[in-house]
Chains A and B, each alone.
Chain A
Amino acid sequence: MTVPTTNPRRDEQAPGAAARAGRPPRVRSPLASLGLHAGLLFGTLCALLPPLWLLVTSFKPKSQSWSMALVKDFTLANYAHVLGGTRFLTWFGNSLTVVLGTTVVGVFIAATTGYALSRFRFPGMRPLVWVLLLTQMFPMAVLIVPLYTTMANLGLLNQPLGLIITYLTIAVPFCAWMLKGFFDTIPVDIDESGRVDGLNPFGTFWRLVLPLARPGIAVTAFYSFVTAWAEVAYATAFMTGEDNLTLAGGLQTFVNRYDTDWGAMTAAAVIIAVPAGLVFGFAQKHLVAGLTAGATKS
Chain B
Amino acid sequence: MRRLAARCAPHWYAWAMVAPVVLVIALIIGYPLGRGIFLSLTDADEANVERTIGVNHIPATYRFTGLENYTRILSDGVFWDRLGWTVVWTVGCVGLTFVLGLTLANMLNRTVRGRTFYRVAMIVPWGIPAFVSVFAFRMLYNERNGLLNKVLEGGGIDGVPWLGDPFWAKIAVIVVNVWLGVPFMIVAMLGALQSVPAQLHEAAQLDGAGPWQRFTHITLPGIRPVATTVVLLSTIWTFNMFPVIFLLTRGGPEDSTEILVTYAYRLSFLNSPRDFAASAAWGVLILVLLAGFTVVYRRALRRQGEVW
Contact = CB atoms under 8 A, between A and B. Distances in A.
B124 interface: yes
Interface in B268-295: 268-269, 276, 279-280, 282-284, 286-287, 290-291, 294
Contacts, number: 274
A44 to B, nearest CB: 4
B170 interface: no
A168 to B, nearest CB: 6
Given A230-B130, A233-B242, A51 B136 contact: yes
A145 B36 contact: yes
B32 A147 contact: yes
A248 B224 CA distance: 37
Interface string A248-284: 1001100100000010011001001100110011001
B123 interface: yes
A50 B127 contact: no
B198 to A, nearest CB: 10
A168 B283 CA distance: 19
A54 interface: yes
Contact of A146 (B39, B135, B211, B264): B39
B279 A141 contact: yes
Interface string A214-253: 0000000000001001101100110000000001100110
B283 A144 contact: yes
Nearest to A238: B269
Interface in A111-142: 112-113, 115-117, 120, 122-125, 128, 131, 134-142
A139 B207 CA distance: 49
A78 B50 CA distance: 44
Interface in B114-156: 114, 117-118, 121-133, 135-140, 142, 145-147, 150
A227 B114 CA distance: 30
Interface stretch (B64-72, B91-99, B157-165, B179-187): B179-187
B118 A141 contact: no
Contacts of A247: 129
Interface residues of A, number: 96
Interface in B215-271: 225-226, 229-230, 233, 236, 239-240, 242-243, 246-247, 260-261, 264-265, 268-269
Given A146-B280, A288-B188, A296 B128 contact: no
A185 interface: no
A173 interface: yes
A47 B125 contact: yes
Contacts of A236: 246, 269
19 contacts: A36-B107, A40-B104, A112-B21, A122-B11, A135-B29, A136-B236, A141-B261, A141-B265, A141-B279, A142-B284, A145-B279, A145-B280, A172-B24, A226-B129, A248-B131, A266-B139, A269-B132, A276-B129, A284-B187
Interface of A: 3, 24, 26, 33, 36-37, 39-40, 43-44, 46-51, 53-54, 57, 66, 68, 109-110, 112-113, 115-117, 120, 122-125, 128, 131, 134-150, 152-153, 165-166, 168-169, 172-173, 176, 200-202, 205, 226, 229-230, 232-233, 236-237, 247-248, 251-252, 255, 262, 265-266, 269, 272-273, 276-277, 280-281, 284, 287-289, 291-292, 295-296, 298
Interface of B: 10-11, 13-15, 17-18, 20-22, 24-25, 28-29, 31-33, 35-36, 39, 49-52, 103-104, 107-108, 110-112, 114, 117-118, 121-133, 135-140, 142, 145-147, 150, 179, 182-184, 187-188, 191, 211-212, 225-226, 229-230, 233, 236, 239-240, 242-243, 246-247, 260-261, 264-265, 268-269, 276, 279-280, 282-284, 286-287, 290-291, 294, 308
A-B pairs, top 8 by smallest CB distance, nearest first, are A142-B283, A280-B127, A230-B129, A66-B145, A141-B264, A146-B32, A116-B17, A120-B14
